[in-house]
Amino acid sequence: MATRKKATQSSKKSTQKSKKSSKTSAAKIETGAVPPYGDPIRAAIARGDTREMKNLAASTRKWLADVESALEQLESAANKS
């Protein structure tokens, strides 16, 4: 029966590094943009924080534009098939 070669320290380290980097990249994928929703918007209004309200409004407009664009692409692709 054939036996495996024992891994050297340097190959063990490179394997561990590749495992760590894959975990890091997976975490980045899972933490995408959070769509704006009512609670943070209402909370900013309740606090009266004008700067936060303006930032939320701008980010919400951008998010809505991105969603509308994606929806148009989806509908276009659906109509083609």
Give the total number of structural domains in the chain: 1
Cα 79 to Cα 66: distance, rounded to the nearest angstrom: 20
Question: Per the domain annotation, does 29 fall within a domain?
Answer: no
Domain assignment present for residue 3? The answer is no
**Residue at 32: amino acid letter:** G
Instruction: Choose the most confident range, by mean pLDDT, from 12-16, 31-35, 37-41, 42-46.
Output: 42-46
Position 80 confidence tier, pLDDT thresholds 50, 70, 90 = very high
What does pTM read for this prediction?
0.51
Residue 8, Cα to own-chain centre: how many angstroms?
37
Residue 57 falls within a domain, yes or no?
yes
The parent domain of residue 70 ranges over: 35-81
In a domain, 52, yes or no: yes
